[in-house]
Amino acid sequence: MDPLREAMTSRDGRDIDPHVGALAGEAAQQRVRHPDRMPHEEQEAERVTPAPQAVEEPEGPSYYGLPVLKEPVWRWEIPAYMFVGGLAGASAVLGAAATLAGGRGTSTLVRRCRLVAAGGAAASAALLIKDLGRPARFFAMLRVFRPTSPMSMGSWILSGFGACAGLAALPGNVPGARALAPLAGPASYGAAALGLPLVGYTGVLIANTAVPIWQQTRNTLPVLFAFSGAVSAGALMDLWRTPGAGGEMAHRFGLVAKGAELALSNALHHEARVVPRVERALRTGRGGALLTAARLLLAGSAILDLLPGRRGGGLRRTASGALALAGTIAIRFGVVAAGRASARDPHATFEMQRAGRGAAELATKEEAAPSMPALPGIDATGKEASQHGAAP
């Protein structure tokens, strides 16, 4: 054997150039279960080993004791991106609403919202690129514009949002960019228009997968993420102690969103409970602990907001903002952790299929039978249709 080829194959038997086969980003998290038990010289013996019998478990038989689905390999960057993107999009919406409302005391809120939107857009892109491993992979997603793909649309929304948010924030925060001031207003409205889908599209993205808990709660997740982004925007302005009428506007914006988010958290469990085995991922393990903590943090923040009296109002509002911000972060990490647990559970996948959920419920009960195309010049008789693939 050629010495170079022998050096390449002696490592793991894959016959891959180590430089070409180097993995980076989320793909690097995928691993062979037992690479040390499959050396190159034993592969032939591996092929003739009889397959093991299916493992019987208390919940019923599973597929050799293995998950049906591959567990998501996302690291902390993706739930962090979901939080930062929601915060940036909601801040752009809040800033545009304050601009339209006008009045004295809203200029500080508008300037800060534009700054948060631009900074959040830059941080979101950085988190995505870090997860993908290389900047070229992010730009490669912009080669296709596919309205039916949440990932494709999310890439374009984030890119357009970042451009608009940056243009809106430059005149008020960079002294040398004052010449762009006439463009700041229209750009802020453009950022707000793109910020609306930005806050919730990640919920659509993960619901468009085969992970049982995400697929089962696909009606609630996008709306929950949208209101969670609104809560985070209001909470950040409370922490930042935004003065005047703008601060009061942001506070009320966040307070209304907190009530909606608490209601949607309960709706998430209600929607998942249609298939009880699937709903278990929201109550147990790391995901259940994070989601429970998120509800408690948000409830505590709302209680502080509704307490009567004005004494200690500034400190109380700061504490409320800190609790709400922590709760919105916990929701993103909790939903991702619940998705991982759900993908590892083969019985959750089985129960979804048996209940006719997921893709099965989207199909009509009676589908038209496929028909053979008629030849040119010959009228179809209707006898060409086949039933369930059988010949006519």
Question: What confidence tens digit (pLDDT) does each residue in 47-106 have?
Answer: 444 444 444 455 666 667 678 888 888 899 999 999 999 999 999 999 999 999 887 789
Residue 58: what pLDDT?
57
Spatial CA neighbour of 231 closest among 185, 262, 270: 262
Spatial CA neighbour of 304 closest among 324, 274, 283: 324
Span 282-315, pLDDT tens digits: 999 999 999 999 999 999 999 999 988 776 678 9
Q: What are all long-range contacts of 24-29, with beta carbons under 8 Å and residues at least 24 apart?
A: 24/133, 24/134, 25/130, 25/131, 25/132, 25/133, 25/134, 25/137, 26/73, 26/74, 26/75, 26/78, 26/131, 26/132, 26/133, 27/73, 27/133, 28/133, 29/73, 29/75
**Among 109-113, 161-165, 175-179, which stretch is predicted with the lowest mean pLDDT?**
175-179
Residue 19: what pLDDT?
56
Residue 319 covered by a domain:
yes
Number of compact structural domains in the chain: 1
Average pLDDT score over residue span 351-361? 72
Residue 133 covered by a domain:
yes
Span 190-211, pLDDT tens digits: 999 999 999 999 999 999 999 9
CATH of residue 122: 1.20.1630.10
CB 257 within 8 A of CB 234: yes
Residue 38 covered by a domain:
no
pTM for the model? 0.78
Residue 313: what pLDDT?
74
Domain residue limits at 163: 77-354
pLDDT bracket for residue 29 (50, 70, 90)? low
Q: Where are the beta strands (DSSP E) in the chain?
A: 56-57, 60-61
- Choose between 3 and 191: higher pLDDT: 191
Residue 267 covered by a domain:
yes
Residue 360 covered by a domain:
no
pLDDT bracket for residue 364 (50, 70, 90)? very low
Residue 32 covered by a domain:
no
For residue 37, pLDDT over 80 is answered with no
Residue 390 covered by a domain:
no
Residue 238 covered by a domain:
yes
